[in-house]
Chains A and B, each alone.
Chain A
Amino acid sequence: DIQMTQSPASLSASLEEIVTITCQASQDIGNWLAWYQQKPGKSPQLLIHSATSLADGIPSRFSGSRSGTQYSLKISRLQVEDTGIYYCLQRYSNPWTFGGGTKLELK
């Protein structure tokens, strides 16, 4: 099974700060990587698909990048509404696997 190691597990940042979350895949997954945001009591919402493509309706301050088997989600200017838990998901091969999550809070 492909392991997705997500870091950090938690993060506290200030408004307007740049935030970066990473997922390291245990093997090649190509661009089969998506990023989700989950708010308390809500279902996850797609932010980034295909490793680097912004999902419909998502603000442009969110971006995704890839370097080999390391994938990153960047929030360029943190806003209040960006707090929540972020997950990566690989769908390259079964079983599809999520990263462990990153809890993002405002400082």
Chain B
Amino acid sequence: QVQLKESGPGLVQPSQTLSLTCTVSGFSLTSYHVSWVRQPPGKGLEWMGVIWTGGSTAYNSLLKSRLSISRDTSKSQVFLKMNSLQTEDTATYYCARFGIREGYWGQGVMVTVSS
């Protein structure tokens, strides 16, 4: 079955770079696109960006200067890197597969930005 699972550090220092991995199973990254979505504590959802089946990407314009999404199709992994982290980047980060009739999400990983 379709599964997505995020992994990464729970704590990142301000001004540092966040690196997260989304490991997927049950589907190929060359057949389905994968997005990253984040949610600050007690707040709403924010779409961050997507990596398409061909490997191209699209980003939220508010994050574009700091964000990079890439993948390793052989390992079924999607990567998120975001630099210059600030406390307001504290959030649960989800990877998700959005389709016309579907919406699969990982369990999320909580990332705290703090010194």
Is B45 within 8 A of A49, CB to CB? no
Is A101 within 8 A of B101, CB to CB? no
CB of B108, distance to nearest CB on chain A (Å):
6
CA distance A37 to B13 in the complex (A): 32
How many residues on B have C-beta within 8 angstroms of the other chain's C-beta atoms?
23
Is B107 within 8 A of A87, CB to CB? no
Is B45 within 8 A of A44, CB to CB? yes
Please give me the residue from chain B that is nearest to A36 by CB atom. B103
Residues of B within 8 A of A1 (CB): 61
The secondary structure that dominates the A interface is loop
Residues of B within 8 A of A94 (CB): 50, 58-59
Which residue in B58, B102, B106 is a CB contact (below 8 Å) of A49? B102
CB of B49, distance to nearest CB on chain A (Å):
8
Which positions in A face B, CB cutoff 8 Å?
Answer: 1, 34, 36, 38, 43-46, 49-50, 53, 55-56, 87, 89, 91, 94-101
